[in-house]
Structure 1
Amino acid sequence: MLSRIADSMYWMARYLERAGETARLMEINLLYLVEAEEDMGEEEKWRPVLEITAALPQYVELYGDDAITTQRVLQFVCGGRTNNNSIRTCLRLFRENARVARDRISKEMWEAVNDIWMTYNERLRGSITLEKASNLFVELRNQVARFNGLLAATMMRGEAYAFCQLGGCVERTDMIARILDVKYHIILPDIHLVGSALDYYQWAALLKSLSGFEAFRRTNQSGFEPKAVVDFAVFEHDFPRSLVFSVDRAGAALANIGLEGKEKTAAAFAALQSLLASSNGETVFTNGLHEFLEQVLSLLAGFHNALAEEFFQ
């Protein structure tokens, strides 16, 4: 396979996953603020979202550090043209990469790509109100799920499919680690809130941001214990949005691609797997969750760089 096709399949999946995960994060944050955060200022409500989506530096450059408001964040995260990670930017790049790899995806997938881009390019042009945003996020998540269903049902299994799977898994791993790191840092310090309604909503919002609320409740009956939540989100092999699950699926995609002669990629991925295999909820809490997640993100970045060097250049 040509390196540019592999690169496009990889990034097509990454950008769509990023758009969908950002929409999910924004949707849950809006709902969560209505339910539980009436006493918080707008900056406290929205700064974590900007941090998770790596959009804070660009936002501050545009508006200033003390100008974080609901309306501005909605506009910036959804349709901001200067935001490299805005939903609109991700969907535009999703379509551009799909176009490059047009002959490797199915007709149904290409039609869905165009439908998603044309629909949301138009909807994200104007002012994004709270009422408009809630429906937009739900509908976009449904469209992302539809595209992934078409991918699974209509695309030939081969290298192109494997690179697509790999891109989605890498993006999901990155987003999970960022959500856990930022959200957990906010939740944990205030011991006085443990067991309160606000504490419940905070943990529930974190799990819903990972689409894991119902799954967690089915497997954990003792409430929202911090260690249980983190253990579930990081090490639960049966939960499709845990770190371990996403990395395992990335490994399966790499096995289909083949790593013969790709020593840097193989070593970088082995280091990431080794970190997760040698850790558990107890060791992560003992040594520090933030430090662990920083390691995950660093090793993931190293893996991506090795992949780019040996496969895409």
Structure 2
Amino acid sequence: MLSRIAESLYWMSRHLERADNTARVLDINVVHMLESDEGVTEEMQWKPLLAIVGADEFYEEFHPDGRITVQRVIHLLTQDRKNPGCIHNSLKLARENARVVRDRISNAMWETLNQFWLTTDKHLAATLQPWRAAEFYAFVHREVATFFGLSQSTMMRGQAYGFTALGSLQERADMTARILDVRYHLLLPDLSLVGSPLDYYQWGALLKSLSGFEPYRRQYQGGIRPIEVVEFVVLDPDYPRSLAYCVEGIERALGRIGHVPDGAVADRLHALRGHLSGVTANDIIDQGLHEYLDDFLARLAEFSDALQADYFDAHLGDAQ
């Protein structure tokens, strides 16, 4: 497969996953904006989102007064064309990459993504208001889920499928680690709040932003305990947004590709697996959750760099 085809498949799914993840955290915050305790200010609720998606500097550049409001955050992360990571731009890039690989994905996948983009572009021509935001984010969830469902049911399990899975799993692992890190360290800075309604709200919001609230409640009894959330989100191999599940999926995706160069990619994958192997949630907390997740994100970035060098900056051989 030519490297440009492989790279387009990878980024098609990665941008789609990014759009979905951004919609996911925005949606949960919009809902909790209406449900949260009176003591939760706009800044307390919305500032962490900017850190999660790496938009802190963009926000400060566009809003020098530093005031954080729901309307400003929604606009920046959803439709501000100057923000390359907003939902609008992510979907635009996903469609552009899908156009390059139309002969490698099914017609149903292309038609779904193309209509998804056209509807989104039209809808976001006007400013998205907070009271309409939840409806739009639910639409994004459904369309992304439909696309990836079609990839599961219509794609041959070869190189194209492998690169498609690889992009989404890498993006998912990155976002899961960021959400857990930021929620843990920014939303609950005061230890006196542990066990309070605000504490429950924040951990519940974390799980809901990862579609993990219901699975967590089925798995664990007796409310929400931070140590169990860490175990679930980081180490549970059966939870499809956990770090462990994503890394195992990345390894399977590389197997689908059938071309695993010796050297950097294999080494970086081994480092990722090693980071998650043989540790417990207590070990992670003892080490420091922030430090542990920082290390994971650094290893994931090194894996991405190696993947770029070994797969996308070189010819992968004959088309398959």
- The two structures have a TM-score, normalised by structure 2, of 0.95
1:203 is aligned to 203
Q: Which moved more, 1:26-35 or 1:14-23?
A: 26-35
> Quick one: distance in 1 between partners of 2:226 and 2:78?
31
**Alpha-carbon contact 1:59-1:83 (below 8 Å) kept:** no
The residue identity in structure 2 corresponding to 1:57 is: E
1:293 is aligned to 293
**Alpha-carbon contact 2:188-2:199 (below 8 Å) kept:** no
Q: 1:237 to 1:302 in 2, by over 3 A?
A: same
1:59 is aligned to 59
How far is the alpha carbon of 1:188 from its aligned partner? 4.4
**Alpha-carbon contact 1:46-1:69 (below 8 Å) kept:** yes
Q: 1:307 to 1:250 in 2, by over 3 A?
A: same
How far is the alpha carbon of 1:305 from its aligned partner? 0.3
> Quick one: distance in 2 between partners of 1:119 and 1:278?
46
Matches within 5 A, 1:212-227: 212-227=212-227
Q: Which runs of 5+ in 1 are unaligned?
A: none
1:80 is aligned to 80
1:129-181 deviation per Cα after TM superposition (whole angstroms, max 9, x unaligned): 11211100011101111111111111121101000001110000000000000
1:135 is aligned to 135
The residue identity in structure 2 corresponding to 1:164 is: T
> Quick one: distance in 1 between partners of 2:141 and 2:61?
29
**Alpha-carbon contact 1:259-1:266 (below 8 Å) kept:** no
> Quick one: distance in 1 between partners of 2:4 and 2:312?
6
> Quick one: distance in 2 between partners of 1:213 and 1:260?
36
Matches within 5 A, 1:31-180: 31-64=31-64, 66-180=66-180
Q: 1:65 to 1:165 in 2, by over 3 A?
A: farther
More helix by share: 1
1:252-302 deviation per Cα after TM superposition (whole angstroms, max 9, x unaligned): 011122344341111111101111113220110101000000001000000
Count, aligned residues: 313
2:268 is aligned to 268
Q: Indicate yes or no: 2:220 matched with 1:238.
A: no
> Quick one: distance in 2 between partners of 1:95 and 1:304?
22
How far is the alpha carbon of 1:187 from its aligned partner? 4.3
SS state of the match for residue 102, structure 1? coil
Q: 1:86 to 1:37 in 2, by over 3 A?
A: farther
Q: 1:253 to 1:81 in 2, by over 3 A?
A: same
> Quick one: distance in 2 between partners of 1:257 and 1:234?
26
How far is the alpha carbon of 1:194 from its aligned partner? 2.5
2:247 is aligned to 247
**Alpha-carbon contact 2:23-2:87 (below 8 Å) kept:** yes
How far is the alpha carbon of 1:64 from its aligned partner? 1.7
How far is the alpha carbon of 1:41 from its aligned partner? 2.8
Q: Which runs of 5+ in 2 are unaligned?
A: 314-320
The residue identity in structure 2 corresponding to 1:32 is: H
> Quick one: distance in 2 between partners of 1:140 and 1:20?
6
The residue identity in structure 2 corresponding to 1:238 is: D
- Ranked by relative contact order (alpha carbons within 8 Å, sequence separation 6 or more), the top structure is 2
SS state of the match for residue 38, structure 2? coil
Q: Identity percentage over the alignment?
A: 47
How far is the alpha carbon of 1:190 from its aligned partner? 2.5
1:8-46 deviation per Cα after TM superposition (whole angstroms, max 9, x unaligned): 000001000000011010000111122114323322221
> Quick one: distance in 2 between partners of 1:174 and 1:181?
11
SS state of the match for residue 103, structure 2? helix
> Quick one: distance in 2 between partners of 1:305 and 1:147?
27
SS state of the match for residue 104, structure 1? coil
2:316 is aligned to none
